[in-house]
């Protein structure tokens, strides 16, 4: 949510869509994954009272692997006049050349990468330069926050509080649905 907020403010966006995937094509499913419907429920809970953000079921409604290029095409077709900004973490931006149709992704949307380290920014820009013909990557300055989804899941599994680490509605959703009660990996 901090990344969404920073992107909204720094890039002057009209709104930010948050799209949980149905099946991530680059990750094996892990035991603690509650599934796409619960991930969508968690996103909806997180953005419920914030008009800047919207939870989208677009990828969850499309079964199978969620490829970014397909999602961007669908968003572009639905609203051809909208300028799309694709927001990712720096690690994902760096891996973009290995994605399905990376040149098309960059044709359909401007890439915005959330990264804290200036050296990593140079690495990202250099890695993507052949894909975008010199089109610059937008970078989002992120405050340093040592909270990750892995930390949240681990704390829930251990029976520890996650209050103040994520939105209160997300805490309630996790409790109500009994999510992340099984052992969590260290990845």
- What pLDDT was estimated at residue 141? 92
Digit-coded pLDDT (tens) for 130-146? 886 556 889 999 888 88
Q: What band does 169 get if pLDDT is binned at 50, 70 and 90?
A: very high
CATH of domain 2-145: 3.40.50.620
Q: Are 175 and 40 in contact (CB under 8 A)?
A: no
Q: What band does 147 get if pLDDT is binned at 50, 70 and 90?
A: confident
Residue 17 vs residues 76, 115, 119, 167, 185: alpha-carbon distances, Å: 13, 19, 29, 17, 29
- What pLDDT was estimated at residue 184? 47
Digit-coded pLDDT (tens) for 63-111? 888 899 999 999 999 999 999 999 999 989 999 999 999 999 999 999 9
Q: Which long-range contacts (CB under 8 A, 24 or more apart) does 149-152 make?
A: 150/184, 150/185, 150/186, 150/187, 152/180
- What pLDDT was estimated at residue 29? 65
Tokens for 130, please give them.
């052949």
First to last CA, the chain: 21
For the residues of 59-92, what is the DSSP string, one character each? HHHS-SB--HHHHHHHHHHH-TTSPPEEEEEHHH
- What pLDDT was estimated at residue 165? 93
Non-local (6+) Cβ contacts of 1 within 8 A are 46, 47, 53, 166, 167
- What pLDDT was estimated at residue 100? 93
| φ/ψ (deg, to 5) at 5 | -65, -45
Digit-coded pLDDT (tens) for 24-69? 887 666 667 888 999 999 999 999 999 999 999 999 999 888 899 9
> How many other CB atoms are there within 10 angstroms of residue 130's CB atom?
11
- What pLDDT was estimated at residue 143? 87
Higher confidence at residue 58 or residue 115?
Answer: 58
Q: Give the separation between CA 155 and CA 32, rounded to whole angstroms.
A: 13
């Amino acid at each position: 949510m901090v990344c969404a907020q920073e992107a909204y403010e720094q890039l002057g966006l009209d709104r930010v869509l948050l799209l949980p995937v149905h099946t991530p094509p680059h990750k094996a499913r892990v035991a603690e994954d509650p599934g796409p419907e619960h991930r969508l429920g968690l996103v909806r809970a997180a953005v419920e009272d914030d008009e800047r953000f919207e939870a989208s079921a677009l990828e969850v409604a499309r079964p199978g692997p969620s490829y970014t290029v397909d999602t961007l095409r669908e968003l572009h077709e639905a609203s051809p006049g909208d300028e799309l900004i694709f927001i990712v973490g720096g690690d994902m931006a760096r891996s973009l050349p290995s994605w399905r149709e990376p040149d098309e992704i960059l044709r359909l949307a401007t890439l915005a990468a959330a990264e804290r380290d200036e050296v990593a920014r140079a690495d990202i820009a250099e890695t993507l330069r052949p894909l975008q013909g010199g089109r610059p990557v937008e970078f989002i300055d992120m405050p340093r926050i040592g909270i990750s989804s892995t930390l949240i899941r681990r704390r829930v599994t251990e029976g520890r509080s996650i209050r103040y680490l994520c939105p209160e509605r997300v805490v309630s959703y996790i409790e109500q649905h009994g999510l992340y009660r099984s052992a969590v990996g260290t990845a």
